Amino acid sequence: MTEMLLTVRGLRKSFGSDESAVPVLAELAFKLPAGGSLALMGRSGSGKSTLLNILCGLERPEAGELILFGQDYRRADWQQLRRERIGVVFQEANLMPTLSLLDNVRLRAALAGQPQSRGQHWLDTLDIGELAQRFPDQVSGGQRQRAALAMVFAMAPALILADEPTGSLDRVTADDVADSLFRLQAETGCGLILATHDPELASRCQRTLDLAHRAVDRDAGPPLP
Amino acid sequence: MTTFTALLSHYRRHPWQGAALALLMLLATTLWTGIHHLTSEARASLGQSERAVEARHQVQRIDGAVLTVEDFVSLRRQGLCLMPWLEVLPEGESRRVIGVDPLAALCFQRQGDVASFDGQPLRGDPFLDIADAAALPARQSQLFLIVAPNTGVLPEAYRITSFSLAPDTGQLGDSFLLNLDALSVLVLLITGLLLRSVYLLSLSQRRDSFALLNRFGVPVRRVRWHLVAELVCLALLTLIPGILLGQLLANGLAGGFASVMEGLFDSRQFATSGNNWLVPTVVMMALLLLVCAADWLIPDKLRKASVFVIRSGLLALLFIVVGTGGVWLAPNLLWLFVSVALGLAGAGLLMPWCLSALSSRMSRASHQPLRRWWWAEFGVLCRRLALPLVALQLALAMVLAVQALVTTFEATFDHWLGQRLSADYYLEVPTGADAEIAAHWLTQNLPATSGARWHRVLRGQGRIGLDSQSRSVDVFALAPVGSLVTEWDLIEQTEQPWQQLAAGHGVMLNEQLAYRQGLAAGDQIQLELAGQSMSVPVLGIYPDYGRPAGEVLMAGDLLPDDFSVAFESFSISPGSVGIETITEALAGIWQQPALTLRDNRSIRDLANRVFDQTFMLTRAMTLLTLALAAVALLLMGWVFLATRLWYFRLLEVWGLERAAIFLRLLTLALAVSLSAAVLALPVGVGLTWVLVQRINPLAFGWSLPMELYPGFWLELLALALVIGVCIALLMRRQLGRPAVRPSVTGTVTGEER
Ligand SMILES: Nc1ncnc2c1ncn2[C@@H]1O[C@H](COP(=O)(O)OP(=O)(O)OP(=O)(O)O)[C@@H](O)[C@H]1O
Ligand SMILES: [Mg+2]
């Protein structure tokens, strides 16, 4: 039996106070094996980002089970996990605007306790080695996302959470960035959970979880006529 | 929805920005209008009444006694053309009115004298009919007799002198007003910086909507005109209450101000008419448009070039060098102020440059990535908060300098007062009483063994200088010259000055007189007392911070017998005898039921009250400005850091603890606010030097020692600390909330860096 990176059962989350609470996630269950990849799909507002936030400890679930690296989430040292094992990539603004691309990668590596000297290596691996001294505003959106990936891989993560990592890129660039992501994920053998609206990108993951149909709509009953 | 309302909708979403702009405008207008109101009225008071007496002459008694109605009557009967001029300070008012007699002025007209009061309404601003003036309940009143030129021969006991309202000390009063003007310009500068910083912030937040409007086909020029219209609306909304509040402020301060002008500068304040709203309106409107719309008024090319120069720091250094040189060499107050302004501008330009250079150097030098990030972030903060930071720096420097000046003055003044008031009691000689007998009694009954010390002071008027340039001075004659005065500090002296003075071999002058006449110890002066002229050496110069009037100090023996004594008093330290014994004896001798006895402390209190009023305005202005600058930095720091909230959250995503993030936030906020304070110290010290060593002698006629008060520096640093901590605490509340991802425009244009 393969080792599970992540096991989720009966996860529930809503926002707001008791009466006006808006359920976002309800009775969610899935598993992610080591080295596996999972795409989260669903229309806007279905809770993809919320789920990713829960998985990296930035939000707390209301109920349910969440076992991460064989440990219950309530006992997890989330700071340490985020620092060293879980890499997060957002749609944009993943870099410190005041630091060069290389310094960004080195900062992320240093926080993870990884050698800073590998910073240039990761930029090279992502084909932006010659942009190392540029600042985020001096490179294109696609190059910024590559730099964001370089930062994540520089920390040698066990799990990558990516929230629409190619959401603001054009088709060709998005494919390029996705290529790099999947290639390095395969090489390093880390897990990947990726939220996206793009079916093509989702199809490159081993499994897809459609939140829109699994969670809110089902529990809210049939849609009104 | 028009373009205009679309633009205005920004302030609906960010009401505090509109409110901050309006509040800044309001406060700046209030402060500036208040000061302008006071100084311009003081000037108008002088101007208006001085015009009426331009190039006129007055009659004075040769014996220096005050003129009375009897003098007027007897001179009039001899056919002289005279006009009575009765200055009255009404009960409960701070400024004087002048009673004149239009009928008496008729003979002036016959003699071809143009100015008259015929047809001019006598409403008390400041002129009114002499009958009405005489009927007012008066705190003080004094009669002058103005005489027409070529009026004929005067009787023996009178002479003609020129009549002006504040001949001897007018310049000093003017300088005091100029000082206030300079201070108000500085306040204007600082509030201008603050206005600009808030406005630029709102502009940067609206850049997206401008771009959108542009894409909808609205030309840039049109957007700008709308923005100008928006500024004009803001100005109109805030100017009216600002000016009203300013006049209220001026009225609140008027009493103290008038007493300073009268008490310290002998510049009598007269009632004036007219409201002053045009100048403040124009000035504040111009300030607002200048600081907010300057970017469009200056051509792009020039701006880019000037930005380059400014960034290079060279211009700043140039300003500082030229300003410092100017301060050293300036021949008068105006040039001095221009030089100071240049120096301050240089300091203001230099600070952001210095901090920016420091941050990039430190960032490059640190190998630890998080530390590198911290320095880079510090650099951004300094650049983006440059305007409020410079405003705070200048405000701090100003407060520091004014505080040092006032404290030094207070200490020096107190020391001086201590020497002046070395006798325990002051006893006024009642009118009609014979001081000679009292002095005799004191000589007989206060033996040296009792430790008692006393002297008699005779006050009156004299003149120094030769005929045409002679000027009136106050005469203080002491008898005997004893140990009550011989401990005074002298600024300059000849050998054994007190012995010489006691022997009647010369006189001493106060600093103001010596400064203005260019006299030094050892010089020979021409002194005229009761019509007799004598040549005497100056034995010493003594400091006098209280009055700018010229004073001559001498031994009683030197006075001619027919000298008209205006006022007489005894200064007494009773020693073991006991003051009651003395007062009872003297009351008996003079056959008076009670004597006016004042003790040291009450006089000191009085002097300190006058002192406080002198600086109340200055202190109030500087402290208000400082408060404004502090609040502005607090708000701007908070708002700007809030736009970077996402990046602090990014640190959290990367696994840093909240506490660690807060610590970094705190150190950043503290570093920024403390930099302003630390860099304000050298500027403040420089400004202190300029104030006490350059401006003071030019403006007030006396100089002070240069003193520094590091304790107060610590207070200012603590204030900066509080600002920094407050910014960090405000930010901490926000750290817990979800952060908005920064807009793509910001990321792409590099304005986050
Ligand atoms: N802090 C919050 N407070 C209240 N409601 C929230 C909060 N965060 C998210 N929500 C709500 O939860 C729901 C899920 O939001 P979430 O951001 O997870 O959606 P998403 O699937 O990521 O959408 P998108 O595809 O647009 O990014 C939304 O209806 C959102 O309004
Ligand atoms: Mg989302």
Q: Is A49 an 8 Å CB contact of chain B?
A: no
Give me the pLDDT at residue B663, please.
Answer: 94
Beta-bridge partner residues of B510: B542
Starting at the edge strand found earlier in the chain, the sheet holding A71-72 runs A22-33, A4-15, A63-68, A71-72
Q: Cα B669 to the chain's mean position, in Å?
A: 34
B169-215 residue pLDDT tens: 445 566 667 777 777 788 888 888 888 888 887 787 777 778 888 88
Beta-strand pair B567-573/B453-464:
antiparallel
Give me the pLDDT at residue B321, please.
Answer: 93
Identify the residue with better confidence: B566 or B64.
B566
Give yes or no for residue A15 CB within 6 A of ligand 1.
yes
A8-22 residue pLDDT tens: 998 989 887 777 777
Residues A88, B652: C-beta atoms closer than 8 Å: no
Decide: B690 and B328 in contact? Cβ < 8 Å: no
Which of A48, A58, A213 should be mutated for ligand 1, with most atoms under 8 A from CB? A48
For residue B684, pLDDT beyond 90: yes
Identify the residue with better confidence: B430 or B685.
B685
Give the DSSP letter string of chain A.
-PPEEEEEEEEEEEES-STT-EEEEEEEEEEEETT-EEEEE-STTSSHHHHHHHHTTSS--SEEEEEETTEEGGG--HHHHHHHTEEEE-SS--S-TTS-HHHHHHHHHHHHT--GGGHHHHHHHTT-GGGTTS-GGGS-HHHHHHHHHHHHHHT--SEEEEESTTTTS-HHHHHHHHHHHHHHHHHHT-EEEEE-S-HHHHHTSSEEEEHHHHTHHHHT-SPP-
Give me the pLDDT at residue B114, please.
Answer: 42
Q: Which of B370, B380, B646 sits opposite A110 (nearest CB)?
A: B370
Cα(B123)–Cα(B37) distance, integer angstroms: 21
In this structure, what is the dihedral angle of CA atoms A44, A45, A46, A51, given to the nearest 10 degrees? 110
Per-residue confidence band for A219, with pLDDT thresholds at 50, 70 and 90: very low
Per-residue confidence band for B234, with pLDDT thresholds at 50, 70 and 90: confident
**Which among B63-67, B413-417, B524-528 has the top mean pLDDT?**
B524-528
**Residues 6 or more apart whose Cβ sits within 8 Å of residue B463:** B470, B471, B472, B473, B527, B528
What average pLDDT does the segment A127-151 reach? 93
CB atoms inside a 10 Å sphere around CB B737:
9
| List of chain A residues whose C-beta atoms are within 8 Å of the C-beta of residue B382 | none
Comparing C-alpha atoms, which of B591, B595, B590 is closest to residue B437?
B590
Q: Cα B573 to the chain's mean position, in Å?
A: 37
Give me the pLDDT at residue B272, please.
Answer: 65
Give me the residue spans of the domains in chain A.
35-59+77-210
Give me the pLDDT at residue B260, please.
Answer: 65
Per-residue confidence band for B550, with pLDDT thresholds at 50, 70 and 90: confident
Which 3 state secondary structure label does DSSP give B479?
Answer: strand
| % of chain B at pLDDT higher than 70 | 83
Give me the pLDDT at residue A36, please.
Answer: 92
Structure tokens at A43: 């229309």
Q: Which residue has the tokens 């009642």?
A: B430
B449-461 residue pLDDT tens: 777 888 888 888 8
Q: Which residue has the tokens 């401006």?
A: B695
Decide: A207 and A33 in contact? Cβ < 8 Å: no
Choosing among 3.40.50.300, 3.30.70.3460, 3.30.450.20, 3.30.1540.20, the CATH entry for A35-59+77-210 is 3.40.50.300
Residues A96, B748: C-beta atoms closer than 8 Å: no
Q: Which of A79, A92, A96 sits opposite B655 (nearest CB)?
A: A79
For residue B652, pLDDT beyond 80: yes
CA atoms within 13 A on the CB side of B486: 16
Q: 3-class secondary structure for B83-144?
A: EEEEEEEECCCCCEEEEECCCCCHHHHHCCCCCCCCCCCCCCCCEEEHHHHHHCCEEEEEEE
**Residues 6 or more apart whose Cβ sits within 8 Å of residue B383:** B352, B356
C-alpha distances in Å from residue B751, one per residue of B173, B647, B677? 51, 14, 26
Residues B650, A96: C-beta atoms closer than 8 Å: yes
Give me the pLDDT at residue A26, please.
Answer: 85
Per-residue confidence band for A105, with pLDDT thresholds at 50, 70 and 90: very high
Beta-bridge partner residues of A161: A88, A193
Beta-bridge partner residues of A13: A25
Give me the pLDDT at residue A33, please.
Answer: 92
**How many secondary structure helices (H) and strands (E) does chain B include?**
24, 16
Give me the pLDDT at residue B277, please.
Answer: 77
Decide: B292 and B196 in contact? Cβ < 8 Å: yes
Residues B657, A168: C-beta atoms closer than 8 Å: no
Q: Which of A56, A97, A106 sits opposite B369 (nearest CB)?
A: A106
Give me the pLDDT at residue B261, please.
Answer: 65
Identify the residue with better confidence: B663 or B470.
B663
User: At what angle are helices B170-205 and B333-365 packed, to 10 degrees?
Assistant: 30
Beta-strand pair B507-510/B532-542:
parallel
| List of chain B residues whose C-beta atoms are within 8 Å of the C-beta of residue A168 | 744
Give me the pLDDT at residue A215, please.
Answer: 40
Give yes or no for residue A20 CB within 6 A of ligand 1.
no
Identify the residue with better confidence: B252 or B339.
B339
Give the DSSP letter string of B6-38.
HHHHHHHH-HHHHHHHHHHHHHHHHHHHHHHHH
**Which among B71-80, B373-382, B702-711 has the top mean pLDDT?**
B373-382
B138-165 residue pLDDT tens: 777 888 887 776 667 777 778 777 665 5
What average pLDDT does the segment A179-183 reach? 94
Q: Which of B369, B741, B753 sits opposite A92 (nearest CB)?
A: B741
Q: 3-class secondary structure for B530-542?
A: CCEEEEEEEEEEE
Which of A12, A18, A20, A49 should be mutated for ligand 1, with most atoms under 8 A from CB? A49
The one-letter amino acid at B39: T
Cα(B192)–Cα(B240) distance, integer angstroms: 18
What average pLDDT does the segment B442-446 reach? 83
Give me the pLDDT at residue B678, please.
Answer: 94
For residue A104, pLDDT beyond 90: yes
For residue B434, pLDDT beyond 80: yes
Per-residue confidence band for A196, with pLDDT thresholds at 50, 70 and 90: very high
For residue B273, pLDDT beyond 90: no
Give me the pLDDT at residue A79, please.
Answer: 92
Give me the pLDDT at residue B577, please.
Answer: 79
Which 3 state secondary structure label does DSSP give B227?
Answer: helix
**Residues 6 or more apart whose Cβ sits within 8 Å of residue B89:** B95, B96, B138, B139, B140, B141
Per-residue confidence band for A66, with pLDDT thresholds at 50, 70 and 90: very high
Residues A97, B369: C-beta atoms closer than 8 Å: no
> Which residue has a Cα nearest atom 24 of ligand 1?
A44
Comparing C-alpha atoms, which of B398, B25, B54, B94 is closest to residue B233?
B25
Cα(B344)–Cα(B346) distance, integer angstroms: 5
**Residues 6 or more apart whose Cβ sits within 8 Å of residue B25:** B195, B234, B235, B238, B239, B242, B284, B288
Give me the pLDDT at residue B665, please.
Answer: 93
Per-residue confidence band for B510, with pLDDT thresholds at 50, 70 and 90: confident
User: At what angle are helices B386-420 and B369-384 packed, to 10 degrees?
Assistant: 70
The one-letter amino acid at A39: A
Residues A82, B655: C-beta atoms closer than 8 Å: yes
Which 3 state secondary structure label does DSSP give B422?
Answer: coil
> Which residue has a Cα nearest atom 31 of ligand 1?
A45
Taking the centre of ligand 1 as the mean of its atom positions, its distance from the CA of residue B561, in whole angstroms, is: 102
Per-residue confidence band for A180, with pLDDT thresholds at 50, 70 and 90: very high
Q: Is A120 an 8 Å CB contact of chain B?
A: no
End-to-end CA distance of chain A: 46
* φ/ψ (deg, to 5) at B719: -60, -45
Average pLDDT, chain B: 80
Give the DSSP letter string of B684-737.
HHHHHHIIIIIIHHHHHS--------HHHHHHHHHHHHHHHHHHHHHHHHHHTS
